[in-house]
Amino acid sequence: MGERSDILKSMYRALEANDLAVQRGELPLSLHRENLRQRAVGRVLAKELAIDESGNRLQMVIDGTEGQVHQIELHADHCDGIGRGMSVSATPPPTEPRVADHNILATRASDGTYSPSRHIEIARKQEISSHPERYVASHGRRLEALRCAGIVERWDEDHWSVPQDLPKQGLAYDRNRHGSGPRMTVLLPISLERQVTHDGQPGATWNWRRSSKARYGGRASARRQARRRTAVSGCWWSVVMPSILAMVVSARRRI
């Protein structure tokens, strides 16, 4: 009980240090410790020694985009290079097999052979995707990763040898690759202030300044600037979320 109280105090200190005590003070505070269950995306408010002060574990307080403030503990080596103000993603170890592994097993022939061309035909017939070739290609990338781990075998371009327990082996591979505890990924390496400030003017980002120059001949509307500053101060993730989503989609396409 004493540790929980100390953690809550440290979270409130982080909110106060970022001038968010009033805005976020009534929001739910999620104490995950090292047992994060769901992915959390947000801005790092604090990074400090964990309450036990063992020296090899750190505590991070994250202002989540979904309206919660998260506390996460992880090994110091797992958060090198992450600092206050950065936008990050904290992902827990996988607990379920990937959907792609189930799809591959479902289209596997009785002799244990998986054929991408057959998978494309099934996807077209069942109207699973408007782009069946791209859909099946994503499964091919998964198979390539599993081939490097020795789980599947590629005979030729259209024939793969796939084990009956592919989802189970795939999950074990993912868990081993992920490691223990949450995995931290930097989505935006610069702080919010740097993201939304240009030439010392809040809200005047480079992209906004370029569009304003085209529309107003270099003299942006003062009212437009005021609206931009209001939006930035009221909801930080409305500014950074488009960039975060683009990076997340790009990362998923590479898997």
* pLDDT tens, per residue, the chain with 255 residues: 567 777 778 877 888 777 777 666 566 677 777 778 888 898 988 887 877 656 678 888 888 888 788 888 888 777 778 888 889 888 888 889 999 999 999 999 999 999 999 999 999 999 999 999 999 999 999 999 999 999 999 999 999 999 999 999 999 999 998 887 788 888 887 766 666 654 555 555 545 555 655 555 545 455 555 555 544 444 555 555 566 666 655 555 555
The boundaries of the domain holding residue 150 are: 99-178
109 and 75: one domain? Answer: no
Following CA atoms 142, 140, 245, 174 in sequence, which dihedral angle do they give, to the nearest 10 degrees? 0
Is the pTM value of this prediction over 0.85?
Answer: no
Sequence-distant (6+) residues with CB within 8 A of 63 are 18, 20, 24, 42, 43, 45, 69, 236
Q: Which two tokens stand for residue 66?
A: 């979904």
Cβ atoms 132, 124 nearer than 8 A: yes
Q: What is the number of domains present in the chain?
A: 3
150 and 207: one domain? Answer: no
84 and 52: one domain? Answer: yes
pLDDT of residue 164: 95
Structural domain ending residue among the three candidates 178, 212, 228 = 178
10 and 65: one domain? Answer: yes
One-letter amino acid of 162: V
Q: Which two tokens stand for residue 240?
A: 């950074």
Strand partners of residue 60: 47, 72
172 and 207: one domain? Answer: no
pLDDT of residue 232: 47
pLDDT of residue 141: 96
Starting at the earlier edge strand, list the strands of the sheet with 183-188. Answer: 29-33, 69-75, 57-64, 40-49, 87-91, 183-188
Cα 219 from chain centre: 38
